[in-house]
């Protein structure tokens, strides 16, 4: 796949804010400070499209980017940032869980894990969640430029043994490593049929829509 165009479309805090135009969706998710925004910009060849920050946990919305006028790349809030309140962490969890479990247009989730570190419990929990709900996913190992070639190979084998039968891609936003492999991995999932399925809203969300229509 070649990236021809990419643009930010909208941010959402609930189903009400999802784009009205129905397209296939590729979501990207990872622990806070895993390098998600930088990798998005690298893959899309568009610096600054996804806003980067030195403050982990800043992304608190679901951000939709339209790619090649054909599908959405969906940037999900990072998880596991300890310096926010427990109530806010729980609201993020519900937010992400709801998107992953109830979105018929989600074709693939790209789960980002920092290749430099050991497999963390919070990432294990996320993978268990994805497996339980049969969410298709691939794992992108980020920040590989921070390791030498030998350590990078060892860490890849380490994760390959821990997460068998899942596509693993070693990436580096800074060096562009793995970008073409990621794009190739998306192709079969984007060929899947996307159905226009009406989003089921809660009573509270339906009431909010009705109120907006009256204004």
DSSP symbol at 93:
H
Which contacts of 194-199 are long-range, i.e. CB under 8 A and separated by 24 or more positions? Answer: 194/22, 194/23, 194/24, 194/104, 194/105, 194/107, 195/22, 195/104, 195/105, 196/22, 197/22, 197/104, 197/105, 199/15, 199/18
The confidence score (pLDDT) of residue 36 equals 92
The reply to whether 191 falls in a domain is yes
Provide the 3-class DSSP secondary structure of residue 58. coil
The answer to whether residues 188 and 201 touch, using CB atoms and an 8 Å cutoff, is no
For the chain, the domain total comes to 1
User: Is residue 181 scored above 90 in pLDDT?
Assistant: yes
Percent of the chain scored above 70 by pLDDT? 79
The confidence score (pLDDT) of residue 15 equals 83
Greater model confidence, 58 or 154: 154
Categorize the per-residue pLDDT at 185 as very low, low, confident or very high, splitting at 50, 70 and 90: very high
Neighbours of 69 (CB within 10 A): 11
Q: What is the mean pLDDT of the chain?
A: 83
Categorize the per-residue pLDDT at 13 as very low, low, confident or very high, splitting at 50, 70 and 90: confident
Closest Cα partner for 25 from 78, 67, 79?
Answer: 67
The reply to whether 55 falls in a domain is yes
The reply to whether 88 falls in a domain is yes
The reply to whether 1 falls in a domain is no
The confidence score (pLDDT) of residue 203 equals 46
Provide the 3-class DSSP secondary structure of residue 135. coil
Which among 15-29, 79-93, 198-212 has the top mean pLDDT? 15-29
The confidence score (pLDDT) of residue 186 equals 95
User: Is residue 205 scored above 80 in pLDDT?
Assistant: no
As a whole number of angstroms, the distance between CA 32 and CA 164 comes to 24
- CATH number assigned to the domain comprising residue 60: 3.40.50.300
Strand pairing category for 71-75 and 62-67? antiparallel
The confidence score (pLDDT) of residue 210 equals 39
Mean pLDDT of 44-63: 67
Categorize the per-residue pLDDT at 79 as very low, low, confident or very high, splitting at 50, 70 and 90: confident
Mean pLDDT of 200-204: 43
The reply to whether 141 falls in a domain is yes
The answer to whether residues 203 and 191 touch, using CB atoms and an 8 Å cutoff, is no
Q: Domain limits at 57?
A: 6-214
The confidence score (pLDDT) of residue 208 equals 33
Phi and psi at residue 166, to the nearest 5°: -125, 135
The reply to whether 116 falls in a domain is yes
């Amino acid at each position: 796949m070649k990236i021809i165009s990419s643009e930010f479309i909208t941010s959402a805090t609930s189903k009400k804010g999802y784009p009205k135009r129905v397209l296939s969706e590729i979501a990207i998710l990872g622990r806070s400070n895993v390098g998600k925004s930088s990798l998005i910009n690298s893959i899309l060849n568009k610096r600054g499209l996804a806003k980067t920050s030195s403050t982990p946990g800043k992304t608190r919305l679901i951000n939709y980017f339209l790619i090649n006028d054909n599908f959405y790349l969906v940037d999900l809030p990072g998880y596991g940032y300890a310096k926010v309140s427990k109530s806010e962490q729980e609201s993020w969890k519900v937010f992400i869980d709801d998107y992953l479990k109830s979105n018929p247009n989600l074709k693939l989730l790209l789960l980002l894990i920092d290749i430099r570190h050991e497999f963390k419990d919070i990432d294990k929990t996320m993978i268990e969640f994805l497996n339980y709900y049969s969410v298709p996913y691939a794992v992108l190992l980020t920040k590989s430029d921070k390791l030498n070639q030998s350590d990078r190979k060892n860490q890849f084998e380490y994760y390959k043994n821990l997460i068998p039968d899942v596509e693993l891609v070693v990436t580096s936003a800074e060096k562009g490593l793995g970008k073409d492999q990621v794009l190739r991995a998306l192709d079969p999932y984007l060929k899947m049929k996307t159905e226009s399925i009406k989003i089921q809203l809660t009573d509270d969300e339906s009431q909010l829509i009705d109120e907006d229509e009256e204004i």
